[in-house]
Amino acid sequence: MVRVRYAPSPTGLLHIGNARTAIFNYLFARHHDGKFIIRIEDTDIERNVEGGEKSQLDNLSWLGIDWDESPDKGGEFGPYRQLERLELYKKYASILLEKGLAYKEYRDSDSYGIRFRVPKGKTYTFNDMVRGELTFQSEEVEDWIIVKDNGIPTYNFAVVIDDHFMQITHVLRGEEHITNTPKQIMVYEAFGWDVPTFGHMTLIVNEEKKKLSKRDENIVQFISQYKTLGYLPEALLNFITLLGWSPSINEEILSKQQLIELFDSNRLTKAPSMFDKDKLTFINHSYIKKLSKEDFMAFVKPFLQEAGIHKDDEWLLDFTSLLQDRCLYGAMMVDLYHEFFSLEFSLSEEALTVLESQDFIPLIESLKEHLLENDFTSEQLSEAIKQAGKDANQKGKNLYMPVRIATTGLIHGPELPKTLHLLGRDVVLKRIENTLSVLKGE
């Protein structure tokens, strides 16, 4: 059975790179009906942050990832935190000392670390799932520390002990771990254990082809930030999966179930993966447009409320459904609201050119008269626009474009009667007055 793991350190928030590692391991496990394990590598005590483990698990869960064994779920191969496994590391470090495969390095008379004795003249070769056959010579690696003088194991030693006893079959991780692999193989061989299959994913780079860094302020780095901005977890899962993997079908908008079914490790890419912000926006927008009107309203309502915008659900449903196609992420709905109800009404040069292309004053004056005695329902507004068109002998583009400009200032926009209904009588009539004043040169 396939058994894979994601093993974060609780030293910070879940960022794009680690999320991709978790997602690829998860999809690989689910594709092969295997097990996905979460293990917390918490031995870097000084860098551990309070709530770091919870943040990792909460954000993975938000992305739609579930796991089979972990600190919170337990399992037969636990414990799943390294600091709770120190006796196990100590035991196997002692075995290496007894075999002469490791030695003590004293700092003073009482304190010592333990170094692994690297074999001489040995070649280490492994078949990487992404890069094919890779080879290292033992001369390239100096004797390395497996246990520090405080008794805490180093990463390359602890990870082997854990992966062996948790029966991990495949290790999918970032390419920065390639040079760690020969050290880990040395430990497997020292104990006569089976070596898992390794796969090292390529770098994620920014649009300038530079390695994605947490200090890169042009790209939102952390999963919690995307949640706060109002990206849909399904969209983010979809997007991240395409960073270093390509499906066998010519589709990019893929559900979690499709990703599981299609996930073939042979299609992991060898070239660096570019973080394309436009592509993320496109994917998220695609998911937003697929939401029902009711689900979209429920999704953006908390963002509006947090901004102090409180409306009843009937009004909110009309408003949010009108702008759903324009909304790229949840928090953007607040900006769209303020833009929609902006009291600063002005006519752009382009809009004025349209209005002055012929005499639209009779049309706009007629519209004003019909709106004065109107209940401002969408149906009545639609009828008022048609009547004004008849009065001024205008139709089609020559009817709807000048009416839209005179009432919203925009040349294009969402459904006009619904827009006017939401703007309300006072705002619409005031804008019409302003437009007529400009056209008449008053």
Q: What is the pTM of this model?
A: 0.91
Distances (CA, A) of 306 to 301, 331, 341, 355, 410: 9, 10, 18, 39, 28
Does residue 124 lie within any of the structural domains?
A: no
Does residue 27 lie within any of the structural domains?
A: yes
Domain termination site, one of 290, 309, 324? 290
Q: What is the pLDDT along the chain (442 residues), one digit of tens a residue?
A: 999 999 999 888 899 999 999 999 999 999 999 999 999 999 988 888 888 899 999 999 999 999 999 999 999 999 999 999 999 999 999 999 999 999 999 988 789 999 999 999 999 999 999 999 999 999 999 999 999 999 999 999 999 999 999 999 999 999 999 999 999 999 999 999 999 999 999 999 988 888 887 777 788 889 999 999 999 999 999 999 999 999 999 999 999 999 999 999 999 999 999 999 999 999 999 999 999 999 999 999 999 999 999 999 999 999 999 999 999 999 999 999 998 887 678 888 898 888 888 888 899 999 999 998 888 999 999 999 999 889 989 888 898 999 999 899 888 888 999 999 999 999 999 999 999 988 888 6
Instruction: Assign residue 231 the CATH number of its domain.
Output: 3.40.50.620
On the CB side of 277, how many CA atoms lie within 13 Å of its CA?
11
Does residue 396 lie within any of the structural domains?
A: yes
Does residue 92 lie within any of the structural domains?
A: no
Please check whether residues 284 and 307 belong to one and the same domain: no
Does residue 119 lie within any of the structural domains?
A: no
| Structural domains counted in the chain | 3
Instruction: Give the model's pLDDT for residue 212.
Output: 82
Does residue 49 lie within any of the structural domains?
A: yes
What amino acid is encoded at 348 in this protein?
Answer: S
Please check whether residues 34 and 50 belong to one and the same domain: yes
Containing structural domain, residue 213: 1-67+202-290
Please check whether residues 330 and 359 belong to one and the same domain: no
Packed helices 293-306 and 332-340: angle between N→C axes, nearest 10 degrees: 80
Instruction: Give the model's pLDDT for residue 216.
Output: 76
Instruction: Assign residue 430 the CATH number of its domain.
Output: 1.10.10.350
Q: β-strands 170-174, 197-201: how paired?
A: parallel
Distance from the first to the final alpha carbon of the chain? 81
Does residue 94 lie within any of the structural domains?
A: no
Instruction: Give the model's pLDDT for residue 343.
Output: 66
Does residue 278 lie within any of the structural domains?
A: yes
DSSP E strands in 235-279: the ranges are: 273-274
Please check whether residues 326 and 381 belong to one and the same domain: no
Domain termination site, one of 272, 304, 334? 334
- What residues does 145 pair with on adjacent strands? 115
What amino acid is encoded at 280 in this protein?
Answer: L
Please check whether residues 385 and 400 belong to one and the same domain: yes
CA angle 97, 102, 108 (to 5 degrees): 85
Residues 6+ apart with CB under 8 A from 74: 80
Which positions are annotated as active-site residues? 214
Instruction: Give the model's pLDDT for residue 95.
Output: 98
